[in-house]
Amino acid sequence: MNGRAWPSGGDRPVVGFIGLGRMGSPMATHVLGQGFELVAFDVRGEALEPLVASGARVAESAPGLAAMVDVLITMLPGPPQVAAVMLGPGGAFQALRDGAVWVDMSTSTPAAGRAAAEEGAPRGVAVVDAPVAGMVKGATAGTLQVFVGGDAGDVERVRPVLEAMGDPDRVVHVGLRGAGYAVKLCLNLLWFIHAAASAEVLVLGAKAGVEVGTLRRALVSGPAGSVLLERDIDGVFEGDYDESFTLDLVTKDLGLAVDLGRELGVPLELSALVEQLHRRARALYGDQAGELSSVRLVEEAAGIKLRIAST
């Protein structure tokens, strides 16, 4: 820990965790499993029960938690929820002790936390962004990829906590504060561009009479192959559009990416179209429909389902 004691007085931090959803709950479990003292809070009391059974303490409020910990982790749906919990009068950020670190692992924008970082600097409160990739499966296995933005010293201080939740070889310091958010938005944006493009290509080939498995193998082995085609789209061939990540979250992330482009003056014409495709899928199939529902859109428009022939 760079030889610096934490506000609690030890060389190993007391960790707080706010946001125990499908991702946050297993992430917090891994922190506890690696021997860190853990304090948890969630508006849903039932979400706390498994952690309490494993030895975690519970705070009665987000500010109450902040006052008890050295490293505060938030894993929340997006910027509005982060702002509501952390920022403004009476928010949890103000309750952090001098020398503490706030690590936001939510998918957000580089602007998020900027005011908090400026406010916290005089009392030595650091802000680090560390969004993740790997979905619920990676969170459960403790193998998440973590994109970390922040001052190098602050990142190293919290690295052992991050490595408790992710693959240590893939906990990567990608730049200054905000860079982690930017990398995560770029990754999600490219994945959903791949999903929309793959949907059209696969349906086109299938409609032309090519067996879907044969078509997929040809594409994967060619110069336009991708991880999505090779692996991520497998469930679609059995009618599963992957509800582990739902369209309400998909459209939130795509909206953040397109908004970032607008803020930075980067033309994102293809990205804006892909965002609208997913918003149309959400309007048709609902908030909780799976992240690959853009494939379903093309299937239904063409009157064909992508199914691999049984052998």
3-state DSSP helix/strand/coil % of the chain, to nearest 5: 50, 15, 35
Amino acid at site 33: G
| Set 137, 184, 252, 305: catalytic member | 184
Q: How many helices (H) and strands (E) does the chain have?
A: 14, 9
Domain 15-175 class in CATH: alpha beta
Rg (CA), the chain: 21
**Residues 36-69: pLDDT tens digits?**
999 999 999 999 999 999 999 999 999 999 999 9
List the chain domain ranges: 15-175, 183-302
252 given a catalytic annotation: no
CA distance 174 to 115: 21
User: Among the listed ranges 77-81, 116-120, 207-211, 234-238, which one has the minimum average pLDDT value?
Assistant: 116-120
Fold of 183-302: N-(1-d-carboxylethyl)-l-norvaline Dehydrogenase; domain 2 (1.10.1040)
Region 289-298: mean pLDDT is: 98
pTM score: 0.93
**Residues 70-88: pLDDT tens digits?**
999 999 999 999 999 999 7
Is residue 303 exposed (0-12), middle (13-18) or buried (19+ Cβ within 10 Å)?
Answer: exposed
